[in-house]
Amino acid sequence: MPGWNPFDGRSETARKIAVSLVLGAVTFALTQVFRTNDTLSIGASVFASGVVLVIQFLLSVERQLERVRSDVDGQLNLVAARMASAVGASTEAARLFGAVDSSAVARGNVEELVRNIARMPINTVHPLTALADEELGRLSRFFRELSEGGELFYDGENRDWLLALARKARTSICATSSMVSGESGRSWADDGLWNSDLGQRYLECQRDAARRGVVVRRVFILQAEDQLADPGFQDLLAHQRDLGFDVRVLPPRKRHLVPKSALFGFAIFDDVASYETTFLVRTGAETRSTVITTRLVVNRDRVRNRVRGFHDLWANADETGARVS
């Protein structure tokens, strides 16, 4: 405590004694003025000194009690404020968890997220805490945009969205694929997607979906008539049919029958979400184009437009069950 002196208590006691002795001496002197006997003078001075000492003691006790009461009141107010803050936080937490119960997200996943966040040590080094804060902010933005029912954007290719949507599909997966021709004259379906690790995992998720009764449909949009005869493309068609997918092909001569807004790559899951990507122009003959933006459309009207576009594609596409020689 600033200004504290360990001898303050001793000095205070000495001061009280000194005041009492001085008052006793004054009392003794006054009794001598009136020529009272020495016994009476001494008794009067001792009595006066004692009274003053007791009064000083009582005043000191009162001051100390006042300080203690003030300190106790301060501590009680601090405890009350902390309790009110804790109760308010608990009430807010209860309200938020109650809101979670009324949402479509499983409460168990939210509780697990909170528990895992709480398990992070308070002394976690800065780069890790910064990474955790960044990921938590990204997750928060994801749920905000998803709840607003518009569009979600991601810089680059978000394989997690694509695979999760395929794994959790319940009724249908309706997708389009484009055939791309390279400088060497070779054609790639979906710009080589199916030969990549992501493409293989995506096929596995769709295969599992088909096995549990999900309708998987795909329309391949050709850029040239001769692409249909490409042996690699024929193998791809046969493989996807073997996996349980319904596959059709839209040749160039029928492109005018379909709205231009449907002639690009997208995948619709359960008629409620459309996964779409934007590619950077290919710069090499044997390399897959780079995905620069992933867009997840969840707006109902826009998704309905995508569904209508796919139905137009499906109705005008050709069923190609036999291998073209």
Helix axes 38-101, 8-33, angle to 10 degrees: 150
Please state the domain count of the chain: 3
Nearest to 205 by CA among 248, 175, 250, 237: 175
State the average pLDDT for the chain: 79
CATH number at residue 289: 3.30.870.10
More confident residue, 250 or 193: 250
| Residue 173 domain-assigned (yes or no) | yes
Kindly state the average pLDDT of the residues 275-280.
85
Q: Report d(CA 259, CA 307) in Å as an integer.
A: 12
pLDDT value for 245: 96
Structural domain range at position 121: 107-148
Q: Are residues 233 and 131 in the same domain?
A: no
**Is the per-residue pLDDT at 211 higher than 50?**
yes
CB 296 within 8 A of CB 273: yes
pLDDT value for 19: 66
Q: Are residues 19 and 63 in the same domain?
A: yes
pLDDT value for 92: 64
The pLDDT-based confidence of 7 (bands split at 50, 70, 90) is very low
More confident residue, 269 or 195: 269
**Is the per-residue pLDDT at 112 higher than 70?**
yes
The pLDDT-based confidence of 50 (bands split at 50, 70, 90) is low
Among 113-117, 181-185, 204-208, 223-227, the range of highest mean pLDDT:
204-208
Q: Report the chain's terminal Cα–Cα distance, integer Å.
A: 96
pLDDT value for 43: 65
The pLDDT-based confidence of 142 (bands split at 50, 70, 90) is confident
Domain boundary among 148, 170, 197: 148
pLDDT value for 21: 64
More confident residue, 4 or 10: 10
Distances (CA, A) of 216 to 26, 208, 210: 112, 10, 6
| Residue 98 domain-assigned (yes or no) | no
Beta bridge partners of 217: 174, 246
Q: Are residues 197 and 290 in the same domain?
A: yes
Q: Are residues 220 and 273 in the same domain?
A: yes
